[in-house]
Amino acid sequence: MKLSTVLDHIDSGHMALPEFQRGYVWNRDQVRGLFDSLYRRHPVGGLLVWATESRSATHRGDGPLAAGVVKLLLDGQQRMTSLYGVVRGRPPKFFDGNAKAFSGLRFHLDTETFEFFQPVKMKDDPLWIDVTELLKGGTDALGTSITKLTKMPAHAAKVGEYAGRLSRLLGITAIEVHVEEVTGADKSLDVVVDIFNRVNSGGTKLSKGDLALAKICADWPEGRDAMKAKLAEWSDHGFRFNLDWLLRSVNTVLTGEAKFQHLHERTADEVRDALGRACKHIDMILNLVSGRLGLDHDQVFFGRFAVPVMARYLDLRSPKQGALGEKERDKLLFWFAQAAMWGRFSGSTESFIDQDLGALEGPDGGLDRLLEQLRLWHGGLRAEPGHFTGWSLGARFYPVLYLLTRMGEARDWGTGLPLKASLLGKMSRLEVHHIFPKAQLRKRKHSRPEVNALANFCFLTKDTNLDIRDRLPEVYFPEIERSHPGALASQWIPADPALWKIDRFRDFLEARKALLAAELNRRMADLLHGDDRWLAGAAAALEESGTPTGGIATDEEEQELEAINAWMEGEGLPRGELSWGYTEPESGRQRAVFDLVWPMGVQEELSQPVAVLLNEDPETLAIASAAGFRCFTDTKAFKRYVRREVLAGDEGG
């Protein structure tokens, strides 16, 4: 099939993208490479399409499909989107990505190279041909270009040679490309997605959730948009979740199972109704978790896979029971916090969700059975000081410290006010404060895990954090106690002034860990309203986790990483997460701390996870690479990647 015919099929609706395909992610280098190969008549690969009836084909975008059999692109999306964008001068109707990747392509008649438009370099130079203008204009545009060159003495001698090159460029759309079809009644969506994953071995595989969503959208085309709208609403309130996670909650509400295997058997109306119920339950859960536990944004929302179980619990409650009572509400939150603290869903997520869903079913099912299952699995729910031994913002107990700050009577050291979620103003946002300053500890050769130990963290307002600067506790603690008596104790600071000296730093950490563990057990007991049997018996086992590798080593590194985040914001892109703890999925053990990451990709869910790792050892780099992160070890390389592959612009400086 000629490439021009492929483009015509896209225009007429005879060719489109299946709903499960991801968005366009090519960069300008890849577009240039495609056109260079086409111009030189090098092989660019064939297309794989799924031939199916248009009335049952669920496709991306709002363009209508042609009647009869349509061809849905399984392999070739990036190439055909790029070709269409350059030839037509606009993206196809199914487009989802950055159109700058293929706008402004130029061809140099003398060097026979492709580059994107650069005003200073190309302005008023007739040898730089606008590829889109030529391909859209056809032979008329070819004739105009040749006439213009003929009238220029400097180029007249080579007009014949240039005309041949222009004709060769114009002939790109006449190139034949092999199109292989997947067709037949036996080619169910499951089979087609399996084929897609096989041919797309170099790209991002479709998850079980993607497949389930594709099946849903076959009967309810607006389903994806409805879910995305709800995700955007939660994101506006500080909670970023993905489609797979939301679909998991829809599935548990509708089928009572974690696995998606039976979701496609449900009707569109059933799924639509379940989405409404699931979203209503999730709204309530987010309000409870943020209001009662203080976990008010996604960086501290550490039990997200407990939500599908909680949504199912709320859905099973009879309307006759009325609204959640205080004791029932707090017991549910106790289970949520405990499941998150001990990493209930860190390993085989689906298996544990299914076990917990099973505990809710039948006449004996409910919260008590759910809690008993959790206790039997973990072997004790009381905290010990050693549980606060972790370090970095990625440690599992980091959200616990935030929870204690928000739930308890913790007060800001600058204003003396309680650190509740109702604080207003930019300077009142909570920030992590190193009680013993990083610079002072590094000067005394303390290790990274000690400098960034959880017991050396507290939360303060931005204003207070700036005021304290890098002063030592023995200097600023007495000032705080004079101005706001009890404010230090409210943040679980040991009362003995001898522990405030930097040469007693390690003793300070041990003393504060004991205070934090006692406070956590007290707050958990509050949630049980006297039903303390769940905290009785042995304490939770301490994990033999070892010391995670990696992490920010110096103030200079931290400043460089902050500068990267500031640059990203200036480019209209999301900030990365600093000191992100990587937890091994199978064991729930924290393996490493990555300096700066975008765990869902800079283009969320369209590009692979990215990590900036400055001055890290080979072990940390190996862990990050094995976990699927694209790693950069210097700022220039990272910025070059963002400019070329995300912003789709020139590399710049």
How many residues in the chain? Answer: 653
Q: According to the model, what pLDDT value does residue 623 have?
A: 92
Opening angle at CA 99, ends 91 and 652, nearest 5: 155
Q: According to the model, what pLDDT value does residue 187 have?
A: 64
The answer to whether 517 and 401 are in contact (CB under 8 A) is no
DSSP 8-state secondary structure symbol assigned to residue 406: H
* Together in a domain, 360 and 400: no
* Nearest one of 106, 103, 63 to 82, comparing CA atoms: 103
* Nearest one of 342, 341, 368, 374 to 355, comparing CA atoms: 374
Residue with the bigger pLDDT between 197 and 534: it is 534
* Together in a domain, 139 and 10: yes
Which of 350, 378, 406 terminates a domain? The answer is 378
| pLDDT tens digit sequence for 554-609 | 778 888 999 999 999 888 888 888 888 787 655 556 678 899 999 878 876 556 78
Query: What's the number of domains the chain is made of?
Result: 4
Residue 166 to residue 148: CA distance in whole angstroms: 13
Determine the 3-state secondary structure of 452 from DSSP. coil
Kindly write down the DSSP assignment for every residue of 211-225, as one continuous string.
HHHHHHHHH-TTHHH
Q: Which amino acid is at 182?
A: V
Residue that is written with structure tokens 């609204």 in the block: 323
DSSP 8-state secondary structure symbol assigned to residue 614: S
Domain that holds residue 368: 207-378
Kindly write down the DSSP assignment for every residue of 63-104, as one continuous string.
PPPPSSEEEEEEE-HHHHHHHHHHHHSS--TT--S-GGGSSS
* Together in a domain, 392 and 498: yes
* Together in a domain, 42 and 121: yes
**Residue 197 pLDDT grade (very low, low, confident, very high; cuts 50, 70, 90):** low
Residues contacting residue 541 through CB under 8 Å, at least 6 positions apart: 378, 379, 380
Q: According to the model, what pLDDT value does residue 545 have?
A: 52
Residue with the bigger pLDDT between 155 and 134: it is 134
DSSP 8-state secondary structure symbol assigned to residue 646: I
**345 in any annotated domain:** yes
Which of 333, 350, 378 terminates a domain? The answer is 378
Residue 124 to residue 313: CA distance in whole angstroms: 69
Kindly write down the DSSP assignment for every residue of 546-604, as one continuous string.
-PPEE---SHHHHHHHHHHHHHHHHTT-PPPEEEEEEE-TTT--EEEEEEEEETTTTTT
The answer to whether 435 and 454 are in contact (CB under 8 A) is no
Residue 331 to residue 630: CA distance in whole angstroms: 41
**188 in any annotated domain:** no
Q: What b/e sequence results for 419-440 when a residue is b if at least 16 CB atoms lie within 10 Å of its CB, and e otherwise?
A: beeeeeeeebebebbbbbbbeb
Q: According to the model, what pLDDT value does residue 54 have?
A: 58
**189 in any annotated domain:** no
Q: What b/e sequence results for 10-28 when a residue is b if at least 16 CB atoms lie within 10 Å of its CB, and e otherwise?
A: beebbbbbbbbbbbbbbbb
Residue 259 to residue 350: CA distance in whole angstroms: 6
Averaged pLDDT, 289-313: 91
* Together in a domain, 13 and 142: yes
Averaged pLDDT, 4-13: 90
| pLDDT tens digit sequence for 469-485 | 889 999 999 999 999 99
Residue that is written with structure tokens 């504060």 in the block: 512
Residue 585 has which token pair? 């999925």
Share of the chain above pLDDT 90, in %: 47
Residue 643 has which token pair? 């400019």
Helix axes 3-12, 77-88, angle to 10 degrees: 90
Residue with the bigger pLDDT between 430 and 138: it is 138
Averaged pLDDT, 140-168: 87
**37 in any annotated domain:** yes
Residue 321 to residue 285: CA distance in whole angstroms: 18
Average pLDDT, the chain: 85
**190 in any annotated domain:** no
- Provide the Cα torsion 404, 237, 426, 609; round to 10°: 90
Residue 613 to residue 653: CA distance in whole angstroms: 20
- Name the least confident of 8-12, 191-195, 257-261, 366-370: 191-195
Distance of CA 95 to the CA centre of its chain: 21
Intra-chain end-to-end CA distance of the chain, in Å: 43
Residue 344 to residue 357: CA distance in whole angstroms: 13
* Together in a domain, 368 and 405: no
The answer to whether 351 and 325 are in contact (CB under 8 A) is no
| pLDDT tens digit sequence for 501-554 | 999 999 999 999 999 999 999 999 999 999 989 998 777 666 655 567 888 877
Residue 3 has which token pair? 């490439």
Q: According to the model, what pLDDT value does residue 80 have?
A: 92
Determine the 3-state secondary structure of 6 from DSSP. helix
**494 in any annotated domain:** yes
Strands (E), 220-265: none
The answer to whether 604 and 591 are in contact (CB under 8 A) is no
**597 in any annotated domain:** yes
Determine the 3-state secondary structure of 430 from DSSP. strand
| pLDDT tens digit sequence for 377-411 | 988 899 999 999 877 766 778 899 999 999 888 99
* Together in a domain, 40 and 155: yes
Residue 389 to residue 455: CA distance in whole angstroms: 7
* Together in a domain, 492 and 471: yes
Opening angle at CA 555, ends 553 and 558, nearest 5: 80
* Together in a domain, 211 and 281: yes
Determine the 3-state secondary structure of 7 from DSSP. helix
Q: According to the model, what pLDDT value does residue 497 have?
A: 97
Determine the 3-state secondary structure of 405 from DSSP. helix
Q: According to the model, what pLDDT value does residue 253 have?
A: 96
- The tally of CA atoms less than 13 A away on the side-chain side of residue 2 is 7
* Together in a domain, 249 and 127: no
| pLDDT tens digit sequence for 613-641 | 999 989 999 999 988 899 999 999 999 98
* Nearest one of 102, 1, 88 to 46, comparing CA atoms: 1
The answer to whether 55 and 65 are in contact (CB under 8 A) is no
Residue 409 to residue 484: CA distance in whole angstroms: 13
Determine the 3-state secondary structure of 227 from DSSP. helix
Q: According to the model, what pLDDT value does residue 652 have?
A: 46
Residues contacting residue 486 through CB under 8 Å, at least 6 positions apart: 411
Residue with the bigger pLDDT between 120 and 21: it is 120
Residue with the bigger pLDDT between 222 and 519: it is 519
| pLDDT tens digit sequence for 226-281 | 998 999 999 889 898 888 899 999 999 999 998 887 776 788 899 999 999 999 99
* Together in a domain, 321 and 406: no
**Residue 145 pLDDT grade (very low, low, confident, very high; cuts 50, 70, 90):** confident
Residues contacting residue 28 through CB under 8 Å, at least 6 positions apart: 100, 101, 102, 116, 644, 648, 649, 650
Which of 358, 378, 398 terminates a domain? The answer is 378
| pTM summary value | 0.74
Residues contacting residue 630 through CB under 8 Å, at least 6 positions apart: 608, 609, 610, 611, 641
Strand (E) or helix (H) holding 52: strand 47-53
Q: According to the model, what pLDDT value does residue 146 have?
A: 87
**22 in any annotated domain:** yes
The answer to whether 107 and 170 are in contact (CB under 8 A) is no
* Together in a domain, 520 and 560: no
Q: According to the model, what pLDDT value does residue 74 have?
A: 77
The answer to whether 367 and 327 are in contact (CB under 8 A) is no
